[in-house]
Amino acid sequence: MATKTVTAKKTAPAKKDASAKKSTPAKKTTPIKKTSSSSSKAPAKQDAATDLKDFFEDALKDIYWAEKALTKALPKMEKNATHPELKKAIATHIEETQIHVTRLEECFKSLGIKPEAKKCDAMQGLLDEGKSIMEETKPGAIRDVGIIAASQKVEHYEIATYGSLAAYAKVLKEKTCLNNFLTTLKEEKNCDALLTKIADTALNTKAK
Ligand code: FE
Ligand code: FE
């Protein structure tokens, strides 16, 4: 394992800012409310899925919304990034994300249904968090670190989603969907690994 060395590049002003923030009193933690009955089941909506095919189609609409939202959010992240490697990684993933949208449209077509986007609350939350991270960091290495953290949360969400979708497609024998999900899943994993590499080799120590 590589050992970290303290370099002369460590910037004093950034450290001062960081320690100033530390003096802010900690927020009160809200206790987790106990539900009246742990065995009570959540009521299902009228159009709730009854089988795997229904659930699969719902999940497809969900990720379709998420990928489309990402085509709009990623360019903002790219603009805010400073490090050339990070900017390049995001630019490449914007192009891939546009293809992810197209692949999902192919999936809808192969299932014989119209492409429909259903708001994905989880992705909306991750994108909101990404926006706050950018507002809470000064441009430069520290904002780059924040952008990587936010982007990796997005990639992990996508990895989990495409992993599940691929498993359902396999059971349902939806071959076009399965191939498309696996191709996209590979690209999401590659993007995640590249972000880890950039953070480890170029940014985390610089932002210290
Ligand atoms: Fe994607
Ligand atoms: Fe992605």
Q: Give the model's pLDDT for residue 125.
A: 98
Other Cβ atoms closer than 10 A to 194: 18
Q: Give the model's pLDDT for residue 111.
A: 97
| Residue (of 206, 98, 189, 200) closest to 152 by Cα position | 189
pLDDT band at 141 (very low <50, low <70, confident <90, very high): very high
Distance 9 CA to ligand 2 centre (A): 32
Distance 73 CA to ligand 1 centre (A): 12
pLDDT value at 8 more than 50: no
pLDDT value at 17 more than 80: no
pTM: 0.80
Number of the ligand closest to the Cα of 74: 2
Q: Give the model's pLDDT for residue 33.
A: 59
Distance 89 CA to ligand 1 centre (A): 13
pLDDT value at 28 more than 90: no
Q: Give the model's pLDDT for residue 205.
A: 76
Least confident range from 4-18, 138-152, 182-196: namely: 4-18
Number of the ligand closest to the Cα of 154: 2
**Buried b / exposed e along 50-79 (16+ C-beta atoms within 10 A):** eeeeeebbebbbbbbbbbbbbeebbeebbe
Number of the ligand closest to the Cα of 126: 2
Distance 165 CA to ligand 2 centre (A): 15
pLDDT band at 37 (very low <50, low <70, confident <90, very high): low
Number of the ligand closest to the Cα of 189: 2
Q: Give the model's pLDDT for residue 32.
A: 67
Distance 28 CA to ligand 2 centre (A): 34
Q: Give the model's pLDDT for residue 2.
A: 39
- CA–CA gap between residue 149 and residue 160 (Å, rounded): 17
Distance 5 CA to ligand 1 centre (A): 36
Number of the ligand closest to the Cα of 191: 2
Least confident range from 20-24, 44-48, 168-172: namely: 20-24
Mean pLDDT of the chain: 86
Distance 123 CA to ligand 1 centre (A): 11
pLDDT (tens digit per residue) in 60-76 = 999 999 999 999 999 99
Distance 27 CA to ligand 2 centre (A): 32
- CA–CA gap between residue 52 and residue 86 (Å, rounded): 39
Q: Where are the alpha helices (DSSP H) in 50-140?
A: 52-80, 84-111, 121-135
Distance 154 CA to ligand 2 centre (A): 7
**Domain spans in the chain, listed from the N-terminal domain onward:** 51-203
Residue with tokens 């953290």: 149
**Is residue 86 exposed (0-12), middle (13-18) or buried (19+ Cβ within 10 Å)?**
buried
Distance 198 CA to ligand 1 centre (A): 19
Right CATH number for 51-203 from 1.10.1240.10, 3.10.510.20, 1.20.1260.10, 3.30.465.10? 1.20.1260.10
Tell me how many degrees the CA angle 20-21-26 measures, rounded to the nearest 5.
130
